[in-house]
Each structure stands twice: as structure tokens, then as C-alpha cells.
């Protein structure tokens, strides 16, 4: 106690920030695609700071490659399907999402996907036994991490973009979301809603809750109960998370109420641009004052139809900028001399290049955050999942124009690119993109440092229960004070009734006396 006291707060803080007292042993739940891409920079930083990082990895994965050189310790577990199955499923999913967009069916696909990916927690526990982990870090998109953390008796941190209508954050994390100004995730609404939009938002929350309750939670409760051997609520298990690292910030999301254990660390992976390969730099410099446009549809979409590819190529041929297009399909016939296609592009380095004028993007969170970080305005071609939602945020902040992949014509795409580069209005202006960049950078601590701080904090303190609101201990009617309201209204009504009765009684007594007096 005496020693503790004489340490100054400043020294303590510096110590906390520059070194980890003793390297922790962190277990990372498996994930996939952009979720894994986003998780890696934090894990790299944790290793730099002396922690050991063990990644639970399915034997079959599209993005988690245990055979590539890496500083992570992989803990593989066998899954019952082949790489071909998952690739075929993904292809089917993209085909469905891009060409037959239909939101309600998303859930069915997700359920199927989850079913396929469900780890047998009991099996993974066998692998994990004796690992002596200090913390489990998980993107809750794949279920089971909360259950595993409980069984291992270690703290749990979630890293999450969002769930549909924020169902998980609201119902399990107790994140408040008044439907009057907090648009439900995936509703494509903004925080400025007129009456009919508020009605839609309100109904959207309710409908999604009903659907998720009947499809997602019911299914998961059954699975969790099986593993634990007692009736278990999966949402209650999710609510045990110590910290929720949300992958947005107020540059991207709309300001909203939140809780002490929700940390907004959007842009974790953002970093300054590195120099380009020589031939690419040459190509970029050849664009002169017009500059360049960077174009990618993300890591998932590798191919589009020839018709769409030709349409896009012909639009790009009509703009004065040079274009770098990440595209793995056959070379479109209409490709202009100003456009260079390649299998892969150094996206972040290109977006941070001084010559970059616009970013044509499918609207994944990672790509959008790189554009925000470097202050580049966007043309959005949303494909699936959270992409339409993400781009509607950017549009409402005046940093993006959206075109529809299936219905757009050559002139639509061409005009959209010209608009984001040249227009100066409140609706779209590259000054807005620069403003978002400034908002993103101007915060007390970088997103990655903040995420790392809370991960180390949770290990140091063996949890973060003092940041947990008491709302977790209330039923829904207690939370909304409905029992209290009922009681207060009853008491008030009884008091009114009592005063009316008393008045009536007094009045009658009074009248009787008068009558008696008259009679006498």
C-alpha cells in the first residue's frame, strides 16, 4: 500500500502505456474475411508489446492461413467441411447478394453459414485446455466465444462492427438506442429522420427483434444449452463481455448514447501511406493535375459479369483521371487507355497518395475507413452485407455519391466520379472528406492505441466489471420502469378515487344535515 501510494499517477500512466508489466496470454476467437483483416493490426501491436497471441483457427478457412509465416501461435481445430464447400457457399452467397438483393433472406444465409461454421465448443476446449489464457478476444460474428470464456473462466472482449438493428448490442450489451434519433443498423436511415422515417425505424427495430428472437436466438440457445448441459440463454452469455470494441467512431457513425464499456475504435487498421512500387508511382505521376481514381470492389468480389465489366470500363474511359482498378476477371473490351487493371493494389498507399482524387468502393468498413483517414471522397457501389448501410452514412456526411451496381449506366458512373471530384456543395464536397479525416485523427488517442489499452486494462484488472451498468440485472419491464409506472398510476388513481369518495361522503353528510335542519 505504501509503495503504491508514492508512485505518481503520471509515471503509472506512462508505464501502463509503454510496456506491459508482464506479457499476457491472449486467446483470439476464429473469424473470417474483413473481420480477420481488421483484427490483425491489433494482434500485431499486442505481440509488439510483449503479449503472446494464440489464434483459434478452423482447419478450413478462406482468410486465416496457418501455413503463412506469422508471429501468431495458431491453435487449429478440425471442421467437418472442405474448402470447396465453403468457397461454393461464398460464391452462392455473393451471387445472391449482388444480383438478387433481398434483406430478409440474409438471415437464412447467415444461419446456414453459422451452422456450417459452428465450432464444437467442447472439442475446441479440449485443444485449449491448459493454455492458461488471460483473455479471450472475439468478433462475435461467430458464436461460442462467450461460452468458451465462461468455461475457461477468463475475461472476454468483443470487437464488433454491428449486429442487425444493433440487436446484440441493445439486448445483450444494454446499449441504449432510442428509435427517435438512433437509426437501426441496416435500416439505411440517418440520425435526421422525419415522421415516416421514425415510424420505419421503430418498426424496423421491432421486426428485426422478432425475427432474430425466433430464428437466431432460439437456435443458439439450443446449441448453448446442449454444450453446457443446462438451459442457457445465449444473449445472457453475450452480456458477460467486459468490453465491446466497436469498429466505428463519430467520423463514420452518428453520435448516439453509449455506455462506459463500449469503446469506439473505428479505423484500427489505418496507417500512413508507404511509397508505391516504382512502375505504379510512374503511372500515378503520369496523371498530371487530373490525378488518379482508385477502384476496388473488395476482397470478396473477384468477378462480375462481362456486361457489367464492360459498362464500368467504358465509364472509366470517359473521365480525365487515370484509374487503378483491382479486378481479377477477364480484361473488358471497353477498357480505356487511362485505366490499369491488376489482381491486387496497395489500397492504403494509393488512397494516401497526394494525386488521389476519388475512391470507387463497394463500401466495406475497412476501405471506407482508409478513405476517411486519407480524406478521399467516395463513389459507392454497395454489393452486400453492411455495405449499403456504410455508404449511406458517408453520403449523409457529404463524402460519397452512391450508384446501383445492377441498374447503373455508363453515364451514371462517369457522372458520379466527376461529381465527387469537382462538385462543391453541402451534399458532396471533397472538403467534407477532409473534414472527416480531421475528425478521425483529432482524438485523444489513436484507435489502435485505445483498443490495445482496453485489452491490456482488462487483463491487468482481470475484467472490467466496474464499467458494467446495472441494467444487466433488470428485466425489460423493470428497465423501462413499467412496474414502477403501473404502481405510481395505481396509487394516484386510488388517491383520486379516495378524494372523490370523501368529497361525496362529506357532501351527502352536509345535505342530510341541511335536510334534517329544514325538516325540524
Residues from 70 through 109 that contact its own copies (CB under 8 A): none
Cβ 58 to its own copies shortest distance, Å: 34
Three-class secondary structure of residue 56 per DSSP: strand
Residues 392-421 touching its own copies, rule: CB under 8 A, are none
DSSP character string of 261-301: TEEE-TTTT--PPPPPPHHHHHHHHTTGGG-EEEEE-TTT-
Cβ 34 to its own copies shortest distance, Å: 21
Exactly one of 484, 498, 500, 511 binds its own copies (CB under 8 A); that residue is 484
Output the CA–CA distances (angstroms, integers) from residue 199 to 23, 184, 202, 386, in the order listed: 51, 12, 5, 22
Instruction: Please identify, using beta-carbon distances, which residue of 148 and 432 lies nearer to its own copies.
Output: 432
Residue 466, interface with its own copies (CB under 8 A)?
A: yes
d(CA 449, CA 267): 11
Three-class secondary structure of residue 66 per DSSP: coil
The half-sphere exposure of 422 on its side-chain side, counting CA atoms within 13 A, is 11
Cβ 365 to its own copies shortest distance, Å: 18
Residue 203, interface with its own copies (CB under 8 A)?
A: yes
List strand residue ranges (DSSP E) for 118-249, in order. 135-138, 156-160, 243-246
Instruction: Please identify, using beta-carbon distances, which residue of 392 and 430 lies nearer to its own copies.
Output: 430
Q: How many residues bind its own copies (CB under 8 A)?
A: 77
Cβ 483 to its own copies shortest distance, Å: 7
Instruction: Please identify, using beta-carbon distances, which residue of 102 and 289 lies nearer to its own copies.
Output: 289
d(CA 93, CA 303): 13
Residues 213-252 touching its own copies, rule: CB under 8 A, are 250-251
Instruction: Please identify, using beta-carbon distances, which residue of 485 and 506 lies nearer to its own copies.
Output: 485
Which residues lie below 8 Å from residue 107, measured CB to CB, with a gap of 6+?
Answer: 164, 211, 212, 215, 216
Cβ 367 to its own copies shortest distance, Å: 17
Cβ 179 to its own copies shortest distance, Å: 5
The three three-digit cell numbers of residue 146, written as one number: 462467450
Provide the edge-to-edge strand list for the sheet that holds 400-402: 339-342, 322-326, 292-296, 356-361, 378-380, 400-402
Residue 198, interface with its own copies (CB under 8 A)?
A: yes
Exactly one of 54, 181, 211, 320 binds its own copies (CB under 8 A); that residue is 181
d(CA 281, CA 288): 12
Residues 14-43 touching its own copies, rule: CB under 8 A, are 16
d(CA 140, CA 274): 32
Exactly one of 5, 424, 516, 518 binds its own copies (CB under 8 A); that residue is 5
Helix axes 121-128, 145-152, angle to 10 degrees: 40
Residues 245-284 touching its own copies, rule: CB under 8 A, are 250-251, 254-261, 270-273
Residue 470, interface with its own copies (CB under 8 A)?
A: yes
Cβ 202 to its own copies shortest distance, Å: 5
Which residues lie below 8 Å from residue 245, measured CB to CB, with a gap of 6+?
Answer: 157, 158, 159, 160, 263, 265, 451, 454
The three three-digit cell numbers of residue 207, written as one number: 421486426
Residue 202, interface with its own copies (CB under 8 A)?
A: yes
Residue 488, interface with its own copies (CB under 8 A)?
A: yes
Per CB under 8 A, the segment of 29-37, 66-74, 370-378, 415-423 that binds its own copies is 370-378
Cβ 3 to its own copies shortest distance, Å: 8
Cβ 218 to its own copies shortest distance, Å: 25
Cβ 484 to its own copies shortest distance, Å: 5
* Residue corresponding to grid cell 466495406: 364
Residues 98-157 touching its own copies, rule: CB under 8 A, are none
Find out whether 327 and 341 touch, Cβ atoms under 8 Å. yes
Exactly one of 303, 478, 490, 512 binds its own copies (CB under 8 A); that residue is 478
Cβ 209 to its own copies shortest distance, Å: 14
End-to-end CA distance of the chain, in Å?
90
Find out whether 63 and 86 touch, Cβ atoms under 8 Å. no
List strand residue ranges (DSSP E) for 140-228, in order. 156-160
The three three-digit cell numbers of residue 348, written as one number: 492504403
Exactly one of 375, 380, 382, 388 binds its own copies (CB under 8 A); that residue is 375
38-68 as b/e, with b when 16 or more CB fall inside 10 Å?
A: bbbbbbbbbbebebbbbbbbbebbeebeeee
Three-class secondary structure of residue 161 per DSSP: coil
Exactly one of 76, 131, 176, 329 binds its own copies (CB under 8 A); that residue is 176
Instruction: Please identify, using beta-carbon distances, which residue of 15 and 497 lies nearer to its own copies.
Output: 15
Cβ 223 to its own copies shortest distance, Å: 30
Residue 295, interface with its own copies (CB under 8 A)?
A: no
Which letter does DSSP use for residue 386 in this model? T
Residue 479, interface with its own copies (CB under 8 A)?
A: yes
Residue 332, interface with its own copies (CB under 8 A)?
A: no
The three three-digit cell numbers of residue 223, written as one number: 446449441
Residues 427-446 touching its own copies, rule: CB under 8 A, are 430, 434, 437-439, 441-446
Residue 49, interface with its own copies (CB under 8 A)?
A: no
Amino acid at each position: 500500500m505504501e509503495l503504491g501510494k508514492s508512485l505518481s499517477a503520471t509515471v503509472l500512466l506512462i508505464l501502463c502505456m509503454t510496456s506491459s508489466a508482464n506479457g499476457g496470454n491472449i486467446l483470439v476467437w476464429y473469424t473470417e474475411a474483413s473481420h480477420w483483416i481488421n483484427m490483425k493490426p491489433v494482434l500485431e501491436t499486442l505481440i509488439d508489446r510483449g503479449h503472446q497471441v494464440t489464434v483459434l483457427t478452423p482447419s478450413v478457412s478462406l482468410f486465416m492461413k496457418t501455413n503463412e509465416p506469422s508471429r501468431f501461435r495458431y491453435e487449429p481445430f478440425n471442421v467437418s467441411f472442405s474448402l470447396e464447400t465453403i468457397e461454393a457457399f461464398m460464391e452462392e452467397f455473393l451471387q445472391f447478394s449482388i444480383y438478387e438483393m433481398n434483406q430478409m433472406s440474409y438471415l437464412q444465409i447467415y444461419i446456414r453459414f453459422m451452422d456450417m461454421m459452428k465450432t464444437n465448443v467442447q472439442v475446441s476446449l479440449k485443444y485449449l485446455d491448459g493454455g492458461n489464457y488471460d483473455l479471450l478476444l472475439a468478433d462475435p460474428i461467430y458464436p461460442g466465444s462467450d461460452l468458451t470464456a465462461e468455461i475457461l473462466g477468463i475475461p472476454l472482449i468483443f470487437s464488433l462492427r454491428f449486429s442487425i438493428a444493433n440487436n446484440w448490442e441493445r439486448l445483450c450489451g444494454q446499449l441504449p438506442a432510442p428509435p427517435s434519433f438512433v437509426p437501426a443498423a441496416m435500416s439505411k436511415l440517418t440520425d435526421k429522420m422525419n415522421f415516416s422515417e421514425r415510424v420505419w425505424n421503430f418498426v424496423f427495430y421491432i421486426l428485426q427483434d422478432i425475427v432474430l428472437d425466433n430464428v437466431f436466438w432460439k437456435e443458439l440457445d439450443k446449441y448453448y444449452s446442449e454444450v453446457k448441459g443446462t438451459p442457457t440463454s445465449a444473449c445472457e452469455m453475450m452480456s458477460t463481455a467486459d468490453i465491446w470494441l466497436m469498429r466505428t467512431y463519430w467520423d463514420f457513425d452518428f453520435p448516439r448514447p453509449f455506455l462506459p464499456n463500449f469503446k469506439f475504435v473505428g479505423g484500427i487498421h489505418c496507417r500512413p501511406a508507404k511509397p508505391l512500387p516504382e512502375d505504379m508511382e510512374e503511372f500515378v505521376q503520369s496523371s498530371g493535375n487530373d490525378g488518379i481514381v482508385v477502384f476496388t470492389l473488395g476482397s470478396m468480389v473477384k468477378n462480375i459479369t462481362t456486361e457489367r465489366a464492360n459498362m464500368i470500363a467504358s465509364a472509366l474511359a470517359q473521365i480525365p483521371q487515370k484509374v487503378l482498378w483491382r479486378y481479377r476477371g477477364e480484361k473488358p473490351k471497353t477498357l480505356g487507355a487511362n485505366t490499369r487493371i491488376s489482381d491486387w493494389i496497395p489500397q492504403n498507399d494509393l488512397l494516401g497518395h497526394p494525386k488521389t482524387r476519388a475512391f470507387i468502393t463497394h463500401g466495406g468498413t475497412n476501405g471506407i475507413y482508409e478513405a476517411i483517414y486519407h480524406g478521399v471522397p467516395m463513389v459507392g457501389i454497395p454489393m452486400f452485407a453492411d455495405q449499403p448501410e456504410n455508404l449511406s452514412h458517408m453520403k449523409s456526411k457529404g463524402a460519397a455519391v452512391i450508384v446501383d451496381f445492377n441498374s447503373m449506366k455508363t453515364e451514371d458512373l462517369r457522372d458520379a466520379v466527376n461529381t465527387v471530384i469537382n462538385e462543391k456543395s453541402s451534399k458532396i464536397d471533397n472538403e467534407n472528406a477532409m473534414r472527416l479525416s480531421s475528425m478521425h485523427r483529432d482524438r485523444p488517442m489513436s484507435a489502435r492505441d485505445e483498443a490495445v489499452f482496453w485489452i491490456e486494462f482488462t487483463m491487468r484488472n482481470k475484467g472490467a466489471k466496474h464499467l458494467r451498468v446495472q441494467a444487466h440485472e433488470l428485466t425489460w419491464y423493470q428497465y423501462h420502469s413499467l412496474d414502477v409506472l403501473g404502481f405510481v398510476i395505481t396509487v394516484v388513481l386510488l388517491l383520486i378515487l379516495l378524494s372523490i369518495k370523501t368529497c361525496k361522503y362529506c357532501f351527502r353528510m352536509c345535505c342530510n344535515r341541511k335536510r334534517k335542519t329544514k325538516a325540524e
